Chains A and B, each alone.
Chain A
Amino acid sequence: MTFALDIILSILLVVGGLFGLTGSYGLIRLKDRMQRLHAPTKASTVGLGTALLASMFHGLMIGTGFSWQEVLVMIFIFVTAPITANYLSKVHLQSRHYDGQTPATGVSRDWATFDQQPEDPEPRLPSRDS
């Protein structure tokens, strides 16, 4: 049992380290601003996920039982990574919009980020007369 756990933990750690290194290397290697979003938001997140899995299984190995706290970190990271990527791609689109280099959408309307928001009506105090 301990030997099997040892094997599983080692595989998880090596795979996680390789994924994390791939994500950080892609941040350097990729040319375009939009391409650069892919590597850290996907590969690094998977690398961190496998490291957290290894940490969870390590509790079984040292005898303190399966540690559930890492699940919280994992859920948090897996939920927030796409939100971060979405915001950063919006920033890229906006800066390209100002430079006039926005890629074509292929349909008649523009990117949804640049849609005109309906103006909020000015908040008014209730008038005394009515």
Chain B
Amino acid sequence: MITYALAFALVCFGLGLILNLWRLVIGPTVADRVLALDTMVVNVIAIIVLYGIQTGLGINFEAAMLFAMTGFVGTVAFCKYLLRGSVIE
């Protein structure tokens, strides 16, 4: 039964990735695009974790952690740039 649930969850997060891409393309403001990218990072982490369940390997945790860190730092740097005009003052 877990095989079907895993496939369902993978399809859900993949569909979410496509919807985020749509928002990334049509987003009226830059902040919407940043938000879409941040959500894409969350969905990609979920897909990596689900792929780790599917294959049974333990190394996917490092990739997920790396994605979480770079996604957070990238989003905050983008917001800081939009707010202040420079990333590090």
Interface of A toward B, CB cutoff 8 Å: 6-7, 9-11, 13-14, 16-18, 20-21, 23-25, 27-28, 33, 36-37, 40, 44-45, 47-48, 51-52, 54-55, 58, 61-62, 64, 67, 69-70, 72-73, 76-77, 80-81, 83-84, 87-88, 90-92, 94-95
Interface magnitude class on chain B: 35 or more
- Neighbour of B46 across the interface among A11, A48, A94, CB < 8 A: A48
| A37 x B80 contact (CB < 8 A) | no
Contacts of B34 in A (CB 8 A): 88, 91
Interface of B toward A, CB cutoff 8 Å: 1-2, 4-6, 8-13, 15-17, 19-20, 22-23, 28-29, 31-32, 34-36, 38-39, 42-43, 45-46, 49-50, 52-53, 56, 58, 61, 64-65, 68-69, 72, 75-76, 79-80, 82-83
- Nearest Cβ in chain A — how far from B13, in angstroms? 5
List, sorted by A's number, 9 A–B pairs whose CB atoms are closer than 8 Å.
Answer: A16-B9, A24-B16, A27-B35, A45-B42, A47-B13, A72-B65, A81-B42, A88-B35, A92-B31
